[in-house]
Amino acid sequence: MLKNISVTHKALKEKKISPKELVELCLKNIQLPANSYISIFKELVLREAEKITEFPSFLTGIPYSLKDLFITQGLRTTAASRYLLNYIPTYDSFVHQQFKKSGSLLIGKNNCDEFGMGSLNRSSAFGPSFYPENLDHYAGGSSGGSASAVKEKSSFFSIGTDTGGSVRLPAAFQGLWGLKPSYGRISRYGQIAYASSLDQAGIIANCPEDIAIVLDQLTVKDEKDTTQKKHVSHCVESIHKKRTKNITLGIIPEFIDLCSPLIKSGLLNFLKSLPSSIQIKELSLKTSSFWSKTYYILAMSEAS
């Protein structure tokens, strides 16, 4: 299985593999017991793959998946709830529109906690999602199906949603990379909300470069989302040029001290390995004891 997006893009351009063959590999990798998908679009994605003959974008011909909170025109969208069991939207979310433009291939819609509310992916009406390499463990949530899809290599990347950790938690649990972009960077148009002032589409992938490629595709102004901020995105360019000047990394020592010994050791070793051009600044956040309380007041109020 090809490991990341840029390597696979090169293989597609050089005709070493076809989009249809790539999709077939991904479909074979779906582990049904892991329950990472609510809907799989096998026939549709194979038809779409056969149409692709040119590869102008990094994402053209790349299979991916979407958390089932993103509206997809003509394709069932459930939010992992019986209330929306047979809901077929008549329009597309911004995120799905952007991937259609890039020529990415949608394998299916991922399982999640119902309406994105949870941290283990146990509350889905379609049953929990599990960690593909050990089915005794939950996938993490609420974007657990998205993480499991990437882990089992049925998707090169997946788009989840993050209100208070729902992308970062399952990514961390499964040894993947997960990013919650700054609020307003990616349009939330057509994204079923949990708490609108906190929700943001996020990316789960195998490496930082893959996240950068996807983030560049999604950082586009959308007039339908008035909360979106204006951004210029050159993430891939920055990674390829290895820009590390004028970067300051803030760390919170008291949070690191709360980690288990193994995690703490890994974090400290990572910080030691950073280039000397990156400045590390220790922060002390005196209001941190109020964060969780504030989050639950706001999130539960908006949800209700």
Tell me the catalytic residues. 67, 142, 166
**Given its phi and psi angles, is residue 250 left (phi above 0), alpha (psi -120 to 50 degrees) or beta?**
beta
CA distance 179 to 211: 8
In 3D space, the residue among 72, 51, 61, 63 whose CA is nearest the CA of residue 26 turns out to be: 63
CA distance 289 to 284: 12
With 0-12 / 13-18 / 19 or more C-beta atoms within 10 angstroms meaning exposed / middle / buried, residue 25 is middle
With 0-12 / 13-18 / 19 or more C-beta atoms within 10 angstroms meaning exposed / middle / buried, residue 129 is buried
From the centroid of its chain, how far is CA 204?
3
Residue 8 in tokens: 């696979």
CA distance 246 to 107: 39
CA distance 177 to 195: 24
Strand partners, 279: 248
